[in-house]
């Protein structure tokens, strides 16, 4: 195909904050696209061979430039059908281009339309850049222009081939949560990439072992972070071909077999690539700020989020109207803001009507009472699960998926089968309206189902993509469009769907599922590398008997009491109310701050410390916990402070005030003595005016 060169420069510039370079999307006379925001600059080119290529991603803060690998190609476009592949090697023809403003996150989207393979496919590539975010986000939509049906067999959400001039590169990835062997609880893993080109893997998505995130750092502590926005199973890889000086990245939709009829479109899930300068905490912080600004479901428009919550699972399914009304009164008394009725309220899983034997006056009576106490009302639901005796299964056994995951004995509905999907959407809207629901705790086992039925409306050979995008995501989008005021919490049978698509639909997510104080701290420790703190809610099954217990749940998103509040003693009630006030005083600070992992992951016999430093105010809050460590002595060394600045330092349980410089705190540290074997303390650091 003969090369086509466009020589007219097209520039769209948006004003940014004072003294900051404007957002810019530019197509130059040299057939290059340049996207810049004063923090990063990305360059792509239309070559003399009519191919579309990535050239550079430059960190404008330190001058580090990540380039396409020499004597190779790198392009964000990579997919394949059964017979042909489209990537950076394939000639394209430019059809059109445009630039549009993105309201959420204050960004620009460069749209480029190509035709490929002798007009076999039309490609709509989107490249996005956002104010003050060191990130490029991208996605591709593929349209079949042929008269024959095609099958998409490969789609890459992380197609990058980068020059690797340094000898060493380390990677960081983080587990998800599961109790199935081998059990996982958000353990972070740092690995030195072998120079031999051997692949390192990240398996992410619903029910997979790891989160959908990856960070890379060279020996000079300059790095990249990446995420892919897909809830289904993904196989991501990274390899260092040291002799060739190349880093190769990919993130493939697993088991993709997408039938694409003439004129139909297929959307490759979006991905993003960002730059950072520093340690893994910096990689996490840059990821989190991008997620909050661009991807995440907006939080409620008040300062009370993350909420203090009570959840009825302390009674498991043995709940009724009397139990809930007694606990609602106590929840409001100690300061809870959200009251959730967990599993057991309905007649059966899949029969989402209240059990009349438990709620003779109707569940709405409980909801109304909760609202009268000034709290929000939430319900547990498992939209893709249904018991054999539920009406939906009796009437429509053909709606079941071929793979059943036995969530509390229930069978699995196929959400990408349109009749089942429509029913689920109607049921969710109905229960929101019937019970005046403010919050939906969505649960289930492997919520992206496997289904190969040939009598369903989805492609039987493409379950992973179909049940993620056209199943779970479609249900959430339809219900949330119809009832936007109802907020959703992700609980995929625990923290087993931690993806950057999940954050678009839920305001928070569980990390581990009511596993106790130490396990909760471990989950938050790991999950706060890739995800903002608000996506780390904690279920506290213990009674509030001591501050070691309560403060083990205090760092992160919503704090969810999952115990029998009605059985609190007067002393426990007083402690719960006091600790809730303490949590409320620090929750907004933690939510907006940079997380510093000051110690190794929490374990028995150690002291662990997790810090939240707000760069804007230069204030730090640290939760420090002694978990039966051999010595009561510990030296706390916070990070992120200004060395020459003087700070006021004090502890929640020791009101003595110290004045120390940032350098003293970060190098010499604050000496602490714990009064007990199991103790958790809050340390405050703020600049002296």
Q: Give the DSSP per-residue string, 491-536.
A: -SSSS----TTHHHH-SEEBSSSS--HHHHHHHHHHHTTTS-GGG-
Is residue 1 situated within a structural domain?
Answer: no
Is residue 670 situated within a structural domain?
Answer: yes
How large is the angle between the packed helices 473-482 and 418-434, nearest 10 degrees?
40
Neighbours of 219 (CB within 10 A): 10
239 with 271, same domain: the answer is yes
pLDDT of 10 reads 47
CA–CA separation, 524 vs 186, rounded Å?
8
Is residue 300 situated within a structural domain?
Answer: no
CATH of the domain at 372: 3.20.20.70
Is residue 3 situated within a structural domain?
Answer: no
Q: What band does 300 get if pLDDT is binned at 50, 70 and 90?
A: confident
Lowest mean pLDDT among 10-24, 602-616, 618-632, 648-662: 10-24
CATH of the domain at 641: 2.60.40.1180
* DSSP three-state, residue 663: helix
Is residue 301 situated within a structural domain?
Answer: no
218 with 229, same domain: the answer is yes
* DSSP three-state, residue 367: helix
585 with 599, same domain: the answer is no
Give me the half-sphere count of Cα atoms (radius 13 Å) on the Cβ side of residue 17. 6
Domain boundary among the residues 577, 592, 607 is at 592
- Cα 13 to Cα 46, 290, 385, 496, 638: the distances in Å are 21, 21, 49, 41, 40
* Mean predicted confidence (pLDDT) in 169-177: 98
277 with 318, same domain: the answer is no
Is residue 247 situated within a structural domain?
Answer: yes
DSSP letters spanning 292-358? IIIISPPPPSSTTPSPEEEEGGGGTT---HHHHHHHHHHHHHHT--EEEE-TTSEEETTEEEE-TTT
Q: Which residues contact 182 (CB under 8 A, 6 or more apart)?
A: none
CATH of the domain at 236: 2.70.98.60
Q: What band does 184 get if pLDDT is binned at 50, 70 and 90?
A: very high
Is the omega angle on the peptide bond into residue 494 within 30 degrees of 0, that is, cis?
Answer: no
Domain boundary among the residues 235, 270, 295 is at 295
The length of the chain is 689
pLDDT of 493 reads 86
Range of the domain at 210: 10-295
pLDDT tens, residue by residue, 218-244? 999 999 999 999 999 999 999 999 999
Is residue 233 situated within a structural domain?
Answer: yes
* DSSP three-state, residue 140: strand
pLDDT tens, residue by residue, 562-592? 999 999 999 999 999 999 999 999 999 999 9
pLDDT of 11 reads 54
pLDDT tens, residue by residue, 241-268? 999 999 999 999 999 999 999 999 999 9
| Residue of 439, 305, 319 lying closest to 380 (CA atoms) | 439
Two tokens, residue 41: 């600059």
- Cα 192 to Cα 195, 225, 348, 627: the distances in Å are 9, 16, 50, 30
How many structural domains does the chain have? Answer: 3
| Sign of the Cα pseudo-torsion (10, 14, 15, 21, in order) | negative
pLDDT of 20 reads 43
Question: Which strands sit side by side in the sheet containing 508-509, from one edge to the other?
Answer: 508-509, 487-490, 439-442, 376-381, 338-341, 308-311, 559-561, 538-540
471 with 562, same domain: the answer is yes
Q: What band does 180 get if pLDDT is binned at 50, 70 and 90?
A: confident
Q: Check pLDDT > 60 for residue 19.
A: no
387 with 452, same domain: the answer is yes
541 with 632, same domain: the answer is no
pLDDT of 2 reads 35
Is residue 5 situated within a structural domain?
Answer: no
CA–CA separation, 254 vs 250, rounded Å?
12
Q: Please give the mean pLDDT across all residues of the chain.
A: 95
253 with 399, same domain: the answer is no
- Cα 441 to Cα 290, 338, 382, 494, 679: the distances in Å are 25, 12, 8, 11, 31
475 with 340, same domain: the answer is yes
Q: What band does 593 get if pLDDT is binned at 50, 70 and 90?
A: very high
409 with 315, same domain: the answer is yes
Two tokens, residue 211: 């989160």
**Intra-chain end-to-end CA distance of the chain, in Å:** 67
Strands 258-260 and 150-155: antiparallel
Neighbours of 398 (CB within 10 A): 13
pLDDT of 208 reads 97
Q: Check pLDDT > 60 for residue 96.
A: yes
Q: What band does 619 get if pLDDT is binned at 50, 70 and 90?
A: very high
pLDDT of 30 reads 86
Q: Check pLDDT > 50 for residue 6.
A: no
Q: Check pLDDT > 70 for residue 668.
A: yes
648 with 546, same domain: the answer is no
pLDDT of 12 reads 60
Domain boundary among the residues 295, 319, 343 is at 295
Q: Which residues contact 374 (CB under 8 A, 6 or more apart)?
A: 332, 337
CB-based burial label for 64 (10 Å; 0-12, 13-18, 19+): middle
| Residue of 77, 44, 67 lying closest to 224 (CA atoms) | 67
pLDDT tens, residue by residue, 353-382? 999 999 999 999 999 999 999 999 999 999
Stated pTM of the model: 0.95
402 with 374, same domain: the answer is yes
Please give the DSSP secondary-structure letter assigned to residue 400. B
**Nearest 5°: phi and psi at 532?**
-60, 150
pLDDT of 375 reads 98
* DSSP three-state, residue 570: helix
């Amino acid at each position: 195909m003969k090369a086509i060169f466009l020589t007219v420069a097209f520039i769209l510039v948006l004003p940014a904050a004072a003294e900051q370079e404007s957002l810019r999307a530019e197509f130059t006379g040299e057939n290059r696209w340049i996207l810049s925001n004063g923090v990063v600059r990305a360059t792509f080119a239309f070559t003399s061979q009519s191919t579309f290529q990535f050239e550079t991603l430059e960190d404008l803060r330190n001058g580090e430039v990540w380039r396409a690998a020499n004597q190779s190609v790198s392009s964000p476009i990579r997919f394949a059908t059964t017979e042909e592949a489209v990537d950076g090697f394939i000639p394209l023809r430019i059809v059109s281009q445009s630039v549009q403003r993105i309201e959420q996150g204050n960004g620009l989207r460069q749209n480029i339309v190509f035709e490929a393979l002798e007009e076999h496919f039309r490609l709509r590539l989107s490249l996005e850049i956002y104010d003050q975010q060191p990130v490029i986000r991208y996605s591709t939509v593929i349209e079949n222009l042929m008269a024959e049906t095609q099958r998409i067999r490969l789609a890459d959400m992380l197609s990058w081939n980068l020059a690797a001039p340094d000898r060493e590169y380390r990677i960081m990835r983080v587990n998800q949560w599961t109790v199935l062997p081998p059990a996982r609880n958000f353990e972070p893993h740092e690995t030195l990439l072998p120079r031999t080109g051997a692949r390192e893997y990240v398996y992410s998505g619903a029910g997979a072992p790891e989160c959908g995130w990856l960070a890379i750092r060279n020996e000079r502590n300059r790095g990249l972070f990446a995420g892919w926005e897909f809830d289904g199973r993904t196989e991501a890889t990274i390899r260092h071909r040291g002799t060739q000086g190349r880093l190769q990245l990919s993130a493939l939709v697993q088991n993709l077999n997408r039938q694409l009829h003439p004129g139909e479109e297929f959307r490759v899930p979006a991905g993003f690539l960002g730059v950072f300068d520093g340690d893994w905490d910096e990689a996490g912080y840059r990821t989190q700020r991008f997620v909050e600004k661009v991807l995440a479901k907006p939080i409620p428009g008040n300062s009370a989020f993350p909420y203090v919550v009570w959840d009825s699972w302390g009674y498991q399914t043995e709940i009724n109207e009397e139990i809930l009304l007694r606990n609602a009164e106590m929840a409001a008394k100690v300061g809870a803001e959200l009251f959730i009725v967990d599993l057991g309220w309905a007649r059966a899983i899949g029969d989402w009507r209240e059990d009349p034997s438990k709620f003779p006056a109707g569940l709405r009576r409980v909801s109304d009472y909760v609202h009268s106490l000034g709290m929000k009302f939430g319900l547990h639901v498992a939209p893709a699960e249904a018991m054999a005796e539920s009406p939906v299964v009796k009437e429509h056994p053909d709606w079941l998926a071929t793979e059943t995951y036995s969530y509390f004995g229930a069978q699995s509905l196929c959400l990408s089968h349109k009749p089942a999907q429509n029913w689920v959407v109607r049921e969710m809207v109905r229960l929101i309206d019937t019970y005046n629901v403010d919050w939906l705790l969505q649960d289930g086992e492997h919520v992206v189902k496997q289904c190969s039925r040939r009598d369903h409306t989805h492609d039987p050979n493409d379950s992973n993509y179909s049940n993620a995008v056209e199943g779970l995501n479609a249900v959430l989008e339809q219900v949330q469009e119809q009832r936007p005021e109802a907020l959703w919490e992700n609980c995929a049978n625990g923290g087993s769907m931690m993806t950057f698509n999940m954050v678009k639909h839920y305001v928070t997510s569980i990390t581990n599922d009511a596993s106790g104080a130490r396990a909760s701290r471990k989950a938050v420790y790991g999950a706060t590398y890739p995800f903002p703190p608000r996506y780390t809610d904690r279920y506290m099954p213990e009674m509030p008997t001591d501050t070691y217990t309560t403060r083990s749940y205090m760092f992160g998103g919503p704090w969810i009491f999952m115990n029998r509040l009605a059985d609190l003693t007067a002393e426990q009630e007083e402690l719960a109310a006091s600790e809730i006030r303490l949590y409320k005083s620090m929750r907004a600070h933690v939510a907006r701050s940079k997380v510093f992992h000051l110690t190794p992951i929490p374990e028995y016999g150690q002291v662990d410390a997790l810090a939240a430093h707000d760069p804007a105010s230069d204030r730090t809050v640290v939760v420090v916990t002694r978990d039966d460590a051999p010595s009561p002595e510990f030296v706390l060394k916070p990070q992120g402070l200004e060395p020459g600045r003087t700070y006021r330092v004090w502890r929640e349980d020791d009101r003595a005030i110290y004045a120390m410089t940032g350098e003293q705190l970060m190098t010499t540290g604050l000496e602490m003595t714990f009064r007990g074997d199991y103790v958790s303390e809050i340390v405050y650091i703020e600049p002296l005016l």
